[in-house]
Amino acid sequence: MKLLGRTALVTGGGSGIGAGIAERLASDGAPVLVADINLEGAERIAAGIRAAGGQAQAFRTDVTQEADAAAAVAEAESRFGRLRIAVCNAGITDRSPVLEMPFAAFERVVRTNLFGCFLTAQAAARAMAQGDEAQRGGRIVTISSVSGQFGGTGRAAYGASKGGIEMLTKVLAVELAPLGILVNGVAPGPTQIARTAHGPRQRDAFLNRMAVKRYGTPADIAAAVAFLCGDDCGFIAGHMLNADGGFAAAGVLYDPAEGA
């Protein structure tokens, strides 16, 4: 159990990728605060973790609110001890063409994804930075997306928010590493969750660029997060780990047997 006793906070942990992350960290020994704006979902995931023998507690959190971010950190430490791991996963999407997207929709996505990541990371880092050199330290993992690295139709808000998270991750890493806090990120490729709901044409567009010809699962993304939280990641900071089935590695893909 590589993360035994290391208190973890996972935002957006009540469903999808966040649920997979919470379950994986708990299976590796970390007590987990499953934070989500949907308390019912968070309670379901926390109950499942406890039933499997892990430690978990649900907590309602709106990551766009500074007070909520601070409260989640305080709750994690109150229940399980000093915070050592924070995963800034909470996020939403909106697939609207630029010419049709209302500003309110753009703002909502960026506020949830980018602002929420900042507020969670800041609150977690403030807790991890307390004490002397021997007491300080921890791991913060942000969750971006390949949509933050490539221009995609309908992803003005989502792509901007995830691109912002990637730069935020680098800045956090530079500022916090001297305090013993290592900050890295994971950029999922297309991942099969309830929210994905891609139609056949969109699935084909993704799969055509992928070396691994399948969508990812929450467990695939959680494995990358668990690595960044573990001791084997002691010399990595400011890195964005793509868990994308080779999506970012691809260029022009076609079968030469079909001719030019």
Helix (H) or strand (E) holding 11: strand 7-11
* CB 3 within 8 Å of CB 27: no
- For tokens 């994308």, what's the residue? 244
3-state secondary structure of 181: strand
Residues with a catalytic annotation lie at 158
* CB 8 within 8 Å of CB 84: yes
d(CA 10, CA 33): 6
3-state secondary structure of 19: helix
Could you tell me where the DSSP H helices lie in the chain? 16-27, 39-51, 66-80, 103-110, 116-128, 156-176, 200-207, 218-229
d(CA 219, CA 26): 13
Q: What is the DSSP letter of 169?
A: H
Which is nearest to 89 in space by CA: 243, 202, 236?
243
d(CA 4, CA 12): 22
